[in-house]
Amino acid sequence: MGGRVSGCDEPCPYAEPWVTDPAMERAAVDLQNTASLTLKFKFNPKLGIDNPVLSLAEDHNPSDPWSLERPRFCLLSKEEGKSFGFHLRQELGKAGHVVCRVDPGTSAQRQGLQEGDRILGVNNNAVEHEDYAVVVRRIRASSPRVLLTVLARHVHDVARAQLGEDAHLCPTLGPGVRPRLCHIVKDEGGFGFSVTHGNQGSFWLVLSTGGAAERAGVPPGARLLEVNGVSVEKFTHNQLTRKLWQSGQQVTLLVAGPEVEEQCRQLGMPLAAPLAEGWALPTKPRCLHLQKGPRGFGFLLREEKGLDGRPGQFLWDVDPGLPAKKAGMQAGDRLVAVAGESVEGLGHEETVSRIQAQGSCVSLIVVDPDADRFFSMVRLSPLLFLENTKAPASPQGGGSASLVETEDPSLEDTDVPSVPLGSRQCSLYPGPGGGYGFRLSCVAGGPRLFISQVTPGGSAARAGLRVGDVILEVNGYPVGEQNDLERLQQLPEAEPPLCLKLAARSPWGLEAWIPPGAVEDWALASDLL
């Protein structure tokens, strides 16, 4: 019954004993009152882990566009070997990051993400004014779960017109107000908490003073959201008891204190795991900074199956005395990111290319087998729990494949013909991240569209595209016409392969026919996330 401290017929494995003190009864009633603030959330058991831990937002009616007039929160989960199920691009000449396609039957579609939605936030980070490449990096780094704050296109346009382009539209939690991921090790007093539950199956923790839970950072009056990465929202009391007993001598809890609950309620934000900060975690990812020596870095990168059965990039043959060993690399570490950018889902060759692209100074983020098991269990990316969460910028900009316009594109070392000297055909398929891995530039008022950047190891590089190659045709359509931009913007919806007709390169330089300041710089298609 709601508000009553639950009893237990058998000795409880995580509390010594169950609390029955009248003062605690009153505390449980107070917690029930907090639970009554929770707004409606319909649970569909077929959707499983895609459902938010706790939704505090009113339901939206997708068929009514004006029901979407406030920011919405979409908690997405990656299924094994798949993506979140949406494509992202940046509008030409405008700030903002646009969902240009939502794949049917995916987590993105089930959670209500819609074509035209503007991405305002990734987890608790407002990204509406961040560079496109940074936003893509944040989303990929959050895999396998990410919380997106989005706004419908028509509402976004009205808000920008009324408030200005510099206005901040993304709601975020206040400083230090976050759910907590707490790892508790049982001592002579057990885990140091007992459980009370209110209506709708919600659970709160009552802490033992100085107990293991309190030492692990569980706040007073915390609501219990997950146990070892599994949501307890629909658990019965007996199921929760069994789950805690099965944890053995240690357990990892996702909890939210009363202040977090209240702020999420006011914002309509779900109490989602990707928002969490780590407290007393048993292990963390490590950031290694390597300076190449005369004998190289001193390690071997090998692709093999990880703990979850999926291919990953692992570090072996770490030579004593060489830079990798001195930086703290251990044999068997799994590579998580290069220069702050996740390598999940990348093949071996592309991962090697990204490392080589860093030159003699390389920044790698790795996890050892224990950390790999831990973050796999809680279903959260280790990149969310770095001591320093600011990711270094990748000098290659990753494999970004969105239509992007920049104010001052670099033209150094770019060689483009003034007259095509022949042609060749290339067919490209998107890489694991959904991008083709090259950037286009064009001359304002001129007839030429050319390759200004090729990502090492990407699809374009493997197909033989080179900086300076001139684009003559895209999917059979000649370029150099007034509707080129419109056609390029439609490429995210086109089925691969991407067929290009390229002109042979010339020894003449750009200055022969490109007036200063007359260049627009693009990247191609959209990023699959």
Q: Which residue has the tokens 């009553």?
A: 4
Pairing of strands 180-185, 145-151: unpaired
Count of CA atoms in the C-beta half-sphere (13 A) of 55: 18
Q: Is residue 408 part of a domain?
A: no
d(CA 384, CA 210): 29
Q: If we measure between CA atoms, which residue out of 132, 127, 123 comes closest to residue 93?
A: 132
Q: In this predicted model, what pLDDT tens digit does every residue of 52-75 receive, in sequence order?
A: 333 333 344 444 444 456 889 999
User: Residue 260 belongs to what H/E stretch?
Assistant: helix 258-267
Q: Is residue 157 part of a domain?
A: yes
Of the pLDDT bands very low, low, confident and very high (cuts 50, 70, 90), residue 415 is very low
Choice among 252-261, 267-276, 357-366, 492-501 with the minimum mean pLDDT: 492-501
Is-contact 259 285, C-beta < 8 A? no
d(CA 341, CA 439): 19
Q: Is residue 5 part of a domain?
A: no
Domain C-terminal end among 219, 252, 279: 279
Q: How many CB atoms lie within 10 A of CB 86?
A: 28
Q: Is residue 321 part of a domain?
A: yes
Residue 330 structural domain:
286-383
Q: Could you tell me the pTM of the whole model? A: 0.66
One domain for residues 221 and 291 = no
One domain for residues 156 and 188 = no
Q: Is residue 404 part of a domain?
A: no
d(CA 280, CA 217): 7
Q: Is residue 495 part of a domain?
A: yes
Of the pLDDT bands very low, low, confident and very high (cuts 50, 70, 90), residue 190 is very high
Q: Check which CATH number belongs to the domain holding 342 and give it.
A: 2.30.42.10
User: Residue 338 belongs to what H/E stretch?
Assistant: strand 334-338
Q: In this predicted model, what pLDDT tens digit does every residue of 98-126 receive, in sequence order?
A: 998 899 999 999 999 999 999 999 998 99
One domain for residues 429 and 372 = no
The number of distinct structural domains making up the chain is: 4
Predicted local distance difference test score (pLDDT) of residue 404: 24
What does the angle CA 310 – CA 314 – CA 320 come to, to the nearest 5 degrees? 165
Q: Is residue 159 part of a domain?
A: yes
One domain for residues 86 and 158 = yes
Q: Is residue 196 part of a domain?
A: yes
One domain for residues 373 and 303 = yes
Regarding predicted confidence, which is higher, 459 or 447? 459
SS3 labels along 370-388: HHHHHHHHHCCCHHHHCCC
Q: How many CB atoms lie within 10 A of CB 200?
A: 14
One domain for residues 330 and 348 = yes
Domain C-terminal end among 259, 279, 299: 279
Domain C-terminal end among 230, 250, 279: 279
d(CA 123, CA 170): 11
Sign of CA dihedral 177, 180, 185, 186: positive
Widest Cα–Cα separation across the chain: 89
Regarding predicted confidence, which is higher, 528 or 331? 331
